[in-house]
Amino acid sequence: MTGNIRTFILMAAMTALGMGWLLGGQGGAVIALVIAGAGNIWAWWNSDKAVLRQQGAVEVSRNQAPELVDMVAALAQRANLPMPRVYVLATEQPNAFATGRNPENAAVAVTQGILQVLNRDELAGVIAHELAHIKSRDTLIMTVTATMAGAIAMLGNMLMFSSLFGGRDDNRGGGLAGLLAMIFAPMAAGLVQMAISRAREYEADRIGAEICGRPMALASALAKIARAAGRSVNIPAERNPASASMFIINPLHAMRMDRLFATHPPTEERIARLQAMGAGRPAAPRAAGPWGGA
């Protein structure tokens, strides 16, 4: 089953859950959907600027970072994508993410740490992974699911207050049902969001490996980033944990991670899949490149 099919199934499940609340007759449900939808449409148009600003990203030109910008340009050409804007984050934690509502308005951001830790081929694999997210329009997919999740959460809250403060009693459990809805509706929506994010990471690994042509280099990069991420703190990401799912590896400190609620699939499984892709292919050269690292 491909990542797109899995995403469709998960989004259909979330739609069914939301429609279940609507068909249940909850008063004001349409208003909740409109409010949540409008908020997320605004976020869709402005999310790239907001995330880059939150993370303290600084745009770089070819004059400022010729090797990095040329690498992004070459990989974008291989992926048949417009040239994205390139940003650098002033954090020692090795990481990267892509943002933008479509390929024409996309950006790739890397940290200072990743430029120091990875070699040239590994960095190319990471950038290719981020370009894969852009190519697959994952930002749009996650925005749609966020709209549905926000609507479901609001409906759960509305059902609780309606049940507790004189809302109609249609034999659905009264206040207890409302309380359970408040707790479990947002949780269910969040779990679906995380499941979609996990599926998209696997797909971005696969497409990214095809773009750069070196699955083993991307696998090596994931291993290095995962080891280093737990030893350093990404302060902007910690302040804005909702952005964690955008990074190639969860940027939040290891002590805050929970396997059940993780936004990323296990790194070991991602590496194993990439190694399977790379079986029989020539090993990626260990060129140090302009960033050092072996």
- Summarize the annotated binding site as residue ranges: 129, 133, 201
Helix (H) or strand (E) holding 88: strand 85-89
Burial 121-136 (b: 16+ CB within 10 A, else e): bbbbbbbbbbbbbbbb
Look up residue 10 and give its amino acid.
Answer: L
Q: What are φ and ψ of residue 288, in 5° steps?
A: -70, -35
Sheet holding 96-99, edge to edge: 57-59, 85-89, 107-111, 96-99
Contact 148, 185 (CB under 8 A): no
Using CA atoms, how far apart are residues 42 and 29, in angstroms rounded to an integer?
A: 20
Check if the beta carbon of residue 142 is closer than 8 Å to that of residue 219. Answer: no
Half-sphere exposure of 238 (CA within 13 A, CB side): 12
Catalytic residue among 67, 92, 122, 130: 130
**Binding-site positions for Zn(2+):** 129, 133, 201
Amino acid at position 244, single letter = A
Active site residue 130: yes
Residues identified as active-site? 130
